[in-house]
Chains A and B, each alone.
Chain A
Amino acid sequence: MEPLSNKKKVLDVKPLTLAEKMYLPAIAKGMAITMSHFFKKKVTIRYPEQQREFSENFRGMHSLKRDEDGRERCTACGLCALSCPAEAITMTAAERQKGEENLYREEKYAAVYEINMLRCIFCGLCEEACPKEAIYLDGPIVPSDTLRKDFIYGKDKLVEAPLNQ
């Protein structure tokens, strides 16, 4: 069969030379290589004390953002839930009452906002779909837990801390 790339690889099967048959020179070479690694800089990160720096586009835990006045940006439009391929996001919308203008930016807000972290695949589509720049995946790694119910993150875990705290 004609190879697709037109590249040819010539197999070179020479019989072993005496030095190769003896194994020992090759072993000595291997030993030298491993020994050179003995003195190299270690790549270990001592995890709980030291943390690895993530890349700029690392996607971690979600956070629901506040605006410059400390009001929640989310208007419960549901676009994030719609765009979510894993169907991890659910929310219940509510209407803003009088006197809550300092809490929510628009007339509608999410009374309940839940992300099932067991379903989330951290694709970042919710982030892209959000017209209000309310959700970002800029958090840390989602911590481990033992119960499935504890992986459903509500607003208590997702909303950013208020500004004046």
Chain B
Amino acid sequence: MLTDLYIKIALVVVIFAISLLIAMYSTYAERKVAAFLQDRLGPDRAGPWGILQPAADGMKMFMKEEIIPTRATGFLFIVGPSLAIMTACIGSAVIPWGQKLVIGSTTIDLQVTDINVGILYIFGVVSLGVYGIMIGGWASNNKYSLLGAIRAASQNISYEISMGLSIIALLMVTGTLSLREIAEQQHGWHWNIIYQPVGFVLFLICAFAETNRSPFDLPECETELVGGYHTEYSSMKLGFYLFAEYINMFISSAVMVTLYWGAYNYPGMDYIAAHFGANASVILGVVLMFMKIFLFIFFFMWVRWTIPRFRYDQLMDLGWKGLIPFAIANIVVTGLVIVLYHHS
């Protein structure tokens, strides 16, 4: 029992470390991808190919002068970024990173906790994330920050609805809220994307809005809001906000892979398990899961450097008049197909 606890703690630490590392290198990858899409080279001075750039950026963030405006609400001003990064981090707890590893007599479950309302937990955590932005914008005592925060809040509320509706159609297919079970159901190549393509597209769009990524990056906008919800922030507090966005991106990519792109499953996994041992198959699954996540992170960046930002009324139009009706139609069609399938 105690070893189980140790294994869990180790797993938590490892997953935290991995998500922070990935978020760190996402900032580097973002700059590289941006550069490559624009026929440039991007950072290449710090270390070979610039791979020490995140460390240099972090160092810079820590060394910068920390300014708390006199008119700001001091306590909330500090709580804002902490909340943003905390909510971003704890989402990783319910994601199944792989199947169970068996070493000797101990079984290592590659998931921190398998709660039977996994998706609801993710939704809860994600919607808490907006508090970080909201509090930050409010505590800054700056009208531009407040406008950014308000835009973030209304955007998140609007897109949370269609995200929830797109998930309902998926839940009608899977019949469970547990992320582990959803992952297990997609064994081999029975990925949910085959059964729920429209739902996936809806979910993807909403995920962009929830992570405040372009084209839905209205909370921050230099041209309209001086900077956005983080106008008054400096040094590592600003760093936390920016970093939280990258962790969010990683976690939401992981959720999308788990829900729609077969999590750690891949075609021919039974064959690998039979011929090379179960553990080999599990490890390959974990590797492939991360590959899929990286592809999604790349996709996030690819979109960011392609599409311009929405105007605010267009954003609301799309959310309420476009995505929600589509999501409802998707639920109805899914229901009809399930009924017809079961009767034939």
Contact yes or no, A34 B306, CB < 8 A: yes
Determine the chain B residues whose CB is within 8 A of the CB of A27 once the complex forms: 303, 306-307
Number of chain B residues whose Cβ lies closer than 8 Å to a Cβ of chain A: 15
Contact yes or no, A30 B307, CB < 8 A: yes
Q: Per a CB cutoff under 8 Å, which of A31, A37, A38, A46 touches B303?
A: A31
- A33 CA / B41 CA spacing, docked (Å): 18
Q: How extensive is the interface on chain A, given as a class?
A: 10 to 19
Contact yes or no, B40 A44, CB < 8 A: yes
Q: Per a CB cutoff under 8 Å, which of B33, B40, B302, B303 touches A43?
A: B40
Contact yes or no, B37 A34, CB < 8 A: yes
Q: Which of B31-58 contact A (CB under 8 A)?
A: 33, 35-41, 44
Determine the chain A residues whose CB is within 8 A of the CB of B38 once the complex forms: 37
| B10 touches A (CB below 8 Å) | no
Contact yes or no, A38 B306, CB < 8 A: no
What total of A-B pairs shows CB separation below 8 Å?
A: 37
Determine the chain B residues whose CB is within 8 A of the CB of A35 once the complex forms: 37, 302
Determine the chain B residues whose CB is within 8 A of the CB of A41 once the complex forms: 39
Determine the chain A residues whose CB is within 8 A of the CB of B41 once the complex forms: 42, 44, 46
Contact yes or no, B305 A34, CB < 8 A: yes
| B59 touches A (CB below 8 Å) | no
Contact yes or no, B37 A37, CB < 8 A: yes
| A40 touches B (CB below 8 Å) | yes
Determine the chain A residues whose CB is within 8 A of the CB of B36 once the complex forms: 37-38, 42
Contact yes or no, A38 B37, CB < 8 A: yes
Contact yes or no, B302 A40, CB < 8 A: no
Determine the chain A residues whose CB is within 8 A of the CB of B201 once the complex forms: 24
Q: In the complex, what's the smallest C-beta–C-beta distance from B239 to chain A, in angstroms?
A: 27
Nearest neighbor of A27 in chain B, beta-carbon distance: B307
| Cβ proximity bits A6-44 to B, threshold 8 Å, 1 near / 0 not | 000000000000000000100100110111011011111
A-side residues, CB < 8 A to B, are 24, 27, 30-31, 33-35, 37-38, 40-44, 46
Other than A38-B36, A42-B41, A44-B40, give 9 A-B pairs with Cβ distance below 8 A: A30-B306, A30-B307, A31-B302, A34-B306, A37-B37, A42-B35, A42-B36, A42-B39, A42-B40
B-side residues, CB < 8 A to A, are 33, 35-41, 44, 201, 302-303, 305-307
User: What are 20 inter-chain pairs, A to B, with CB distance below 8 A?
Assistant: A27-B303, A27-B307, A31-B302, A31-B303, A33-B306, A34-B305, A34-B306, A37-B36, A37-B37, A37-B38, A37-B39, A38-B33, A41-B39, A42-B35, A42-B39, A42-B40, A43-B39, A43-B40, A44-B35, A46-B44
